């Protein structure tokens, strides 16, 4: 951890001025000065070397175990709060004891808990203690747990077994083996087998293997399942042997574990033998998914034959085997890919298509020559797959080939279009733009624009202006152009965007405004974000000025703020109104005070309403510069100014973002209002989700009780009840 304190201590030593009386003469020689500094340096190093290892901001003294008996008394308390407090306290102590340096105390704590269990505890206490022992128990806990596993209570027995299962010690292992050997019934045997499987200790393989000899099929299956978790040839061989001896139905159940086990074998000298087991399964099983599972293991183990095996699988009737082969494509080496693609022409068209698709999707470069060849295949399925694959692997060199496909049928055109959009090579943009320049209108022009837009080609934004798409008489073309400028436009496009606003509908103007806001939001200097818009204002036609102001307000920034503020004092009521609109559009709460003034003293009701809604919108934004209490005060003030329920509801809704106890007071006062109670309930329950608030303020409980009983909203009632349960 940060040796911050040590550094501070060292620095203090280092720079502390010499005491007034020094053993050195007042006028020190250079040598003496150097000696003094060296002395101080050595002191600093010593301090650091002493402090660094022991300064650990997470280290603490081992927690005290003194209160255990007191806490134990409440582990099953009918008072839920007392129970939760006791359990939480003890649990926190126990979790801390997991540190290596607290080992002695960990043992002590576990011994205490085991002693409690031995004397008998209520069920809830016992289960709680067992969960803790599961997490932190050691050798000291084994004897007690072993006894409890044999207890009459199923829940306790299960808890004890889980705990034993999770104790990584030899004594716990031995206890489990002993339990297995003395198992009273099949179910118990299976549970212990599962425990050994969970532990995955190599020494348990032989124990588990003997369980494969069990005459009970379920026990045998559990043992096989447990063994299959190991990367172990002996484990795989044991299962293989059991599988071969098992009758039909049981063999079918065992085979899945055999496959898993054989696949896990990973040591180089053992894989051949594991592969032979998989081969036996593959040749001997009639279940398609089983054969396929075995086959997928063989792919990795048969070396040069894997391609032949893959091709055979791809050509068979078993769709699972086909899927296994396709899944293996990801693992192929370059040489194997070349070998596989050489077999492509001999495969049915559908298979070729599937393979080309997956080779492309996995960006297997070695497959590119085969993909290029397949682009001229006479079978449309193959051709389309190859065209699609080029989207992942192609380059600018493939542009013309793909462009030619745009004249093809729908599927081919769609594939080519998609690939042209995807090829990650900037040169493709240039080639497409060149082609676009030659087209004035038509479907292909629209297609190319769509492709270039998907490619995010910056130059397309210029095309939208230069080629007058932005000013088209066709609304769809204008909309497309606006969308492209939204994503790719820069400040140089803003004048054209504003010009286009003059002749379009209000809905379209809104879209254009959003585009301008987005473009300006990309300007690095936050203060000057609105500069392109403000620069246009002076020379803009009057009918455009309100838009300019409104958009400037949406953009924000210091320059816009100053400009808009100056317009608030305008003698023109239109300009003033536009400035107010601009302030109401402001992206943060910088102008809250002005908005409050407008909400109170605005010339028109519409202005006052707009201001109220704007305050509600901005004051609780994450970027708010006001403290939570200030936010609440502002909303309270605004609430007093609101004249309509729509605004009041909005304020009540927004206030739920302010996580303070005093917010509850505010919201509570509206629970009795017929028109506002529903919103008040919703905000109250939303606030109540903050556990710290609930716990700090008991009066919230009363609010939740009221909502849980009286709210007309089922979901709110349920949520309120849930929070009440946590008290």
Residue 579 contacts residue 607 (beta carbons within 8 Å): no
Question: Where are the alpha helices (H) located in 467-530, listed in sequence order?
Answer: 475-488, 494-501, 506-521
Residue 467 contacts residue 445 (beta carbons within 8 Å): no
Among 166, 171, 380, 499, contact with other proteins (rule: CB under 8 A): 166
Binding to other proteins by residue 151, rule CB under 8 A? Answer: no
Nearest residue (CB) to other proteins, 337 versus 680: 337
Question: According to CB under 8 A, which residues from 302 to 321 bind other proteins?
Answer: 317-320
- What length is written for the chain? 727
Residue 684 contacts residue 664 (beta carbons within 8 Å): yes
Rounded-to-integer distance, Cα 62 and Cα 99, Å: 9
Among 11, 312, 327, 437, contact with other proteins (rule: CB under 8 A): 327
Element holding 360 (H helix, E strand): helix 349-361
Nearest residue (CB) to other proteins, 222 versus 684: 222
Rounded-to-integer distance, Cα 725 and Cα 727, Å: 5
Nearest residue (CB) to other proteins, 525 versus 643: 525
Minimum distance, C-beta of residue 358 to other proteins, in the bound complex (Å): 6
Binding to other proteins by residue 98, rule CB under 8 A? Answer: yes
CB atoms within 10 A of CB 35: 13
Minimum distance, C-beta of residue 215 to other proteins, in the bound complex (Å): 18
Phi-psi label, residue 398: left if phi above 0, alpha if psi -120 to 50, beta otherwise: alpha
Rounded-to-integer distance, Cα 695 and Cα 684, Å: 15
Minimum distance, C-beta of residue 190 to other proteins, in the bound complex (Å): 5
Residue 484 contacts residue 461 (beta carbons within 8 Å): yes
What's the first-to-final CA gap in the chain, in angstroms? 37
The first and second tokens of residue 654, run together, are 């927004």
Nearest residue (CB) to other proteins, 297 versus 561: 297
Q: How many CA atoms lie within 13 A of 592 on its CB side?
A: 21
Q: Which of 232, 231, 210 is nearest to 219 (CA)?
A: 210
Nearest residue (CB) to other proteins, 429 versus 447: 429
Rounded-to-integer distance, Cα 322 and Cα 339, Å: 17
Question: According to CB under 8 A, which residues from 549 to 578 bind other proteins?
Answer: none
In the numeric block, the tokens 């074998």 are attached to 265
Question: According to CB under 8 A, which residues from 332 to 351 bind other proteins?
Answer: 348-351
Among 117, 145, 180, 190, contact with other proteins (rule: CB under 8 A): 190
Task: Say which residues have a Cβ less than 8 Å from residue 312's Cβ, sequence separation at least 6.
Answer: none
Task: Say which residues have a Cβ less than 8 Å from residue 124's Cβ, sequence separation at least 6.
Answer: 75, 76, 83
Nearest residue (CB) to other proteins, 211 versus 679: 211
Nearest residue (CB) to other proteins, 186 versus 575: 186
Nearest residue (CB) to other proteins, 125 versus 581: 125
Binding to other proteins by residue 369, rule CB under 8 A? Answer: no
Binding to other proteins by residue 724, rule CB under 8 A? Answer: no
Binding to other proteins by residue 165, rule CB under 8 A? Answer: yes
Binding to other proteins by residue 87, rule CB under 8 A? Answer: yes
Nearest residue (CB) to other proteins, 288 versus 511: 288
Among 204, 228, 585, 607, contact with other proteins (rule: CB under 8 A): 228
Nearest residue (CB) to other proteins, 196 versus 467: 196
Question: According to CB under 8 A, which residues from 130 to 149 bind other proteins?
Answer: 131, 134-136
Binding to other proteins by residue 380, rule CB under 8 A? Answer: no
When computed from its CA atoms, the radius of gyration of the chain, rounded to whole angstroms, is: 38
Minimum distance, C-beta of residue 429 to other proteins, in the bound complex (Å): 9
Residues in the interface with other proteins (CB under 8 A) total 101
Stretch that binds other proteins, among 29-37, 355-363, 396-404, 704-712 (CB under 8 A): 355-363
Among 91, 183, 535, 600, contact with other proteins (rule: CB under 8 A): 91
Rounded-to-integer distance, Cα 532 and Cα 521, Å: 11
Minimum distance, C-beta of residue 1 to other proteins, in the bound complex (Å): 7
Question: According to CB under 8 A, which residues from 599 to 658 bind other proteins?
Answer: 622-623
Nearest residue (CB) to other proteins, 195 versus 301: 195
Question: According to CB under 8 A, which residues from 517 to 546 bind other proteins?
Answer: 521-526, 529
Stretch that binds other proteins, among 442-450, 451-459, 507-515, 641-649 (CB under 8 A): 451-459
Binding to other proteins by residue 662, rule CB under 8 A? Answer: no
Residue 145 contacts residue 101 (beta carbons within 8 Å): no
Residue 454 contacts residue 462 (beta carbons within 8 Å): no
Q: Which of 177, 109, 115, 181 is nearest to 148 (CA)?
A: 115
Largest CA-CA distance found in the chain, in angstroms, rounded: 102
Minimum distance, C-beta of residue 121 to other proteins, in the bound complex (Å): 16
Nearest residue (CB) to other proteins, 99 versus 468: 99
Query: What is the DSSP secondary structure assignment for residue 150, as one 8-state letter?
Result: T
* C-alpha distances out from residue 171 to 42, 104, 154, 178, Å: 51, 18, 23, 10
Among 381, 540, 628, 693, contact with other proteins (rule: CB under 8 A): 381
Among 181, 424, 475, 604, contact with other proteins (rule: CB under 8 A): 424
Query: What is the DSSP secondary structure assignment for residue 73, as one 8-state letter?
Result: T
Stretch that binds other proteins, among 13-21, 191-199, 433-441, 537-545 (CB under 8 A): 191-199
Stretch that binds other proteins, among 354-362, 494-502, 677-685, 693-701 (CB under 8 A): 354-362
Binding to other proteins by residue 708, rule CB under 8 A? Answer: no
Nearest residue (CB) to other proteins, 130 versus 578: 130
């Amino acid at each position: 951890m940060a040796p911050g304190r040590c550094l501070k201590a060292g620095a203090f030593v280092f720079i502390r001025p010499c005491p007034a009386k020094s053993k050195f003469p007042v006028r020190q020689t250079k040598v003496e000065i150097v000696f003094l500094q060296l002395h101080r340096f050595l002191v600093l190093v010593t301090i650091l070397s002493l402090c660094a290892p022991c300064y650990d901001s997470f280290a603490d003294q081992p927690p005290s175990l003194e209160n255990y008996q007191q806490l134990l008394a409440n582990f099953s308390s009918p008072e839920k709060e007392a129970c939760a407090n006791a359990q939480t306290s003890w649990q926190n102590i126990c979790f801390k004891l997991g540190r290596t340096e607290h080992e002695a105390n960990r043992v002590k704590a576990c011994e205490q808990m085991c002693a409690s269990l031995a004397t008998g505890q209520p069920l809830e206490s016992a289960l709680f203690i067992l969960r803790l022992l599961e997490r932190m128990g050691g050798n000291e806990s084994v004897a007690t747990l072993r006894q409890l596993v044999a207890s009459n209570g199923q829940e306790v027995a299960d808890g004890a077994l889980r705990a034993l299962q999770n104790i990584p010690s030899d004594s716990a292992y031995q206890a489990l083996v002993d339990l297995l050997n003395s198992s009273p019934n099949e179910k118990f045997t299976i549970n212990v087998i599962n425990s050994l499987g969970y532990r995955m200790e190599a020494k348990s393989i032989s124990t588990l293997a003997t369980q494969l000899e069990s005459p009970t099929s379920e026990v045998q299956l559990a043992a096989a399942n447990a063994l299959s978790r190991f990367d172990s040839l002996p484990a795989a061989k044991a299962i293989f042997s059991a599988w071969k001896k098992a009758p039909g139905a049981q063999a079918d159940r065992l085979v899945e574990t055999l496959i898993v086990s054989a696949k896990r074998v990973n040591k180089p000298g053992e894989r051949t033998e594991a592969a032979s087991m998989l081969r036996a399964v593959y040749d001997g099983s009639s279940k398609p998914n089983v054969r396929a599972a075995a086959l997928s293991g063989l792919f990795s183990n048969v070396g040069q034959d894997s391609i032949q095996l893959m091709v055979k699988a791809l050509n068979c009737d078993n769709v699972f085997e086909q899927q296994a082969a396709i899944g293996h494509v990801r693992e192929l080496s370059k040489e194997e890919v070349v070998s596989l693609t050489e077999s492509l022409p001999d495969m049915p068209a559908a298979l070729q298509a599937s393979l080309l698709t997956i080779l492309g999707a996995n960006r297997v470069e070695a497959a590119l020559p085969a993909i290029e060849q397949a682009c001229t295949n006479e079978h449309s399925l193959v051709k389309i797959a190859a065209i699609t694959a080029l989207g992942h692997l192609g380059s600018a060199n493939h542009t013309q080939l793909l462009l030619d496909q745009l004249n093809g049928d729908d599927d081919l055109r769609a594939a080519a279009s998609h690939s042209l959009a995807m090829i990650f090579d900037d040169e493709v943009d240039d080639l497409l733009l060149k082609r676009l320049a030659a087209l004035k209108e038509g479907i292909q022009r629209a297609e190319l624009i769509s492709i270039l837009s998907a490619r995010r080609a910056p130059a397309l934004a210029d095309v939208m202006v230069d080629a007058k798409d932005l000013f088209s008489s066709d609304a769809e073309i204008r909309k497309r152009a606006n969308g492209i400028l939204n994503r790719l436009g820069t400040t140089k496009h803003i004048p054209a965007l504003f010009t286009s606003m003059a002749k379009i509908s209000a809905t379209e103007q809104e879209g254009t405004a959003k585009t301008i806001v987005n473009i300006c939001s990309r300007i690095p200097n936050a203060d000057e974000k609105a500069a392109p818009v403000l620069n246009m204002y002076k020379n803009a036609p009057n009918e455009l000025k309100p838009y300019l102001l409104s958009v400037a307000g949406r953009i924000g920034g210091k320059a816009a703020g100053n400009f808009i503020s100056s317009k608030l004092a305008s003698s023109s009521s239109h300009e003033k109104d536009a400035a107010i609109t601009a302030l109401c559009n402001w992206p943060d709460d910088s102008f809250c005070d002005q908005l409050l003034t407008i909400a109170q003293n605005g010339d028109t009701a519409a202005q006052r309403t707009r201001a109220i809604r704007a305050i509600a919108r901005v004051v609780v934004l994450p970027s708010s510069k006001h403290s939570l209490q200030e936010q609440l005060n502002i909303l309270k003030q605004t609430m007093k100014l609101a004249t309509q329920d729509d605004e009041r509801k909005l304020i009540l809704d927004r206030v739920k973002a302010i996580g303070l106890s005093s917010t509850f007071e505010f919201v509570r006062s509206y629970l009795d209002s017929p028109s506002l109670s529903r919103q008040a309930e919703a905000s109250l329950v939303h606030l109540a989700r903050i556990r710290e608030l609930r716990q700090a303020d008991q009066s919230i409980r009363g609010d939740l009780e009221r909502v849980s009983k009286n709210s007309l909203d089922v979901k709110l009632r349920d949520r309120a009840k849930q929070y009440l349960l946590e008290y």
